[in-house]
Structure 1
Amino acid sequence: MGKLQSKIRRRSDLYRTNRDEGAENVPVNQVLQYDPAHTDAINCVTTISSDLCVSGGSDQAVVVYNWRAGHLHQSLQAHTKEVTKVKCVPGTSLIFSASRDKTVLMWDLSSGDEPLQEFCGHELVVNGLDVSPDASQICTGSRDNSMCLWDIESGECLQRKTISRNLVTHVCWVPGGTSIAQTSEDKTIKVWDSRSWQICNTFPAKQHIQTHCAVSSNSHYLLSSSNGFGGQGCEATLWDLRQPGCKVVEYRGHLQTTACCTFLPCSQGAPPMVATSSHDCSVKVWDQNTAACLCTLTLGGSGPLVSLASCDVTGLLCASFNTGLHLLTLSQGAEPHLRETARF
């Protein structure tokens, strides 16, 4: 591939950094302000190691940031339109990024800042992206109504299927298996068999567009989130994958579209929990089994909160349209508490 780099614009005046002022002296309730990761809205975030996160934004950049130390690690630029999704391969330095430019790029942090592979074939924005458990394939979904399966090494499209009205919003590979969950603007959740590239299950349609999905680490449960307004819709739903189409509980409380949902790692003795982020500028943590809202954090002025990623048992990263990335700390216990500790 040819070199497709462009200069990243800095917004150093947008945030105040405390790194040179001795972060260890900052009061516990004060939010640390680091240099911004992006120059525009952030659409997605994930973690690649115990201290590095990867995000994609409307500035067309894929950014690797050290969230513990509060500094930019690497900026990857080759997309020609905004980045919609990022995924990493655990235990490696491989990163995949999807974009409105209709492509997916593969990067290796150990090999510089040029993409190693380009996956081309979709006709519209790529909104769904995930990596197979054995890291040999990726799955992509697009607003062109198609789902594609790719070989990572060769970049070859192995499977493609187009279904009417299947405007893909997110895809998620079931850990340790061959199934792929997929949400869509047709309000359904579909489960694909990656071997036959056929739909093996379709969940009952919800009342609103399904914006995102996540699968528990034990592969037993699926989370999905809904769009909405004024408290209508706006919920997340827990489904039992062992009983196809079985709705367990709903998590209701957001006032606008719930854009992201995720399972949280829990400390020993703590109840299983899930987290959601919404266009209403709030992040909520829920008891997975009872659907009780355990705590809520509102990030005023942040705009839509569109993506979440767990750092560890106590850390949660949240991507926003207006105020960058937020590092949240969750205190688990009898009364869980969520607070913002850093912003970048």
Structure 2
Amino acid sequence: MVIIAYNDAQILDVACPTGALEIANGHGVLPPYAIELATVAGRSVRSSSGIALTGARRLASVTGRIDTMLVVGGHGTRTAMADDRMLTQVRRLARRSRRIASVCTGAFVLAAAGLLDGRRATTHWAYSDILAAHFPAVTVDPAPLYVQDGNVYTSAGVTSALDLTLALVESDHGPTVAREVARELVTYLQRPADQAQISMFLAPPPPGDRLVRDLLAHIAAHPGDDLSPAALAARAQVSPRHLTRLFVTHAGTTPARAVRAARTEAAAHLVRASELSLAAVARRCGFGSAEVLRQAFLDHYGVTGAKVRRMADMPEALDRPTAETSGHGGSAGDRS
């Protein structure tokens, strides 16, 4: 694996892949991963944290077949994507590579080199609109942790490099090795590619609206309670109509849709982490029956109830929202 870096690269974009591959090698994978850091000039570069990345070789000196070429992201991306020497070498090495990958804003370098034209790709959610605006030939999807389009892989921000690398290890050596690596890293085994970069639990409303923020925290912590709009309004000491206005303004959704999304996410995590039946999970999370829960999974994640049940033994999160978290569908205070 050739990892391409530059000044002001994000050090985690380098450390996550290299650390995971080092552990994979420790599990005796054959052939072992050979990792090389490469820069345009072949000199050490400074990461954005100030820590130097040493031991780099010059990009132009890399010859022969490459298994995986990976471009990292970071604050220095803007300079890197404007460096003709960088782009020339990225294009050259891409032709020699079995796989091409990027982490975070490293996607901008691949796009500037023309390697993402006509492909679906992702990057850190905060930069997805910029990537789409600068490179209209690229279909930018801001939601997934990583995207595979043919032999080109792009991943979201920072630690999603770990998810991407685990997926590559699984592709190369099977799920058992990937799970052993993930266990040693003390991380999820492993998050699926289409898990959303931001679940509703990580995307609170602006700090200025304390009422909505506190209610969302209450909803997430008590999915089995009475969370009807009337009950939430009473808790907040406002009218149901005013509560809806506040949620739409500050959370981008209605109270009922927020409740259903929170209950569905809570149920997904409980299914994954326990051996409870779907009926028991449904009761704990405010759904009236396993069938209603299955429908919620189908609406929210696009998977059937049977598939969700099979995932109970799989260490994967289901956090990819569909229409419900974007403000479409859902029923008022659903406790059915």
Q: TM-score, normalised by structure 2?
A: 0.26
Structure with the largest fraction of strand? 1
Larger radius of gyration: 2
Which TM-score applies when normalising by structure 1? 0.26
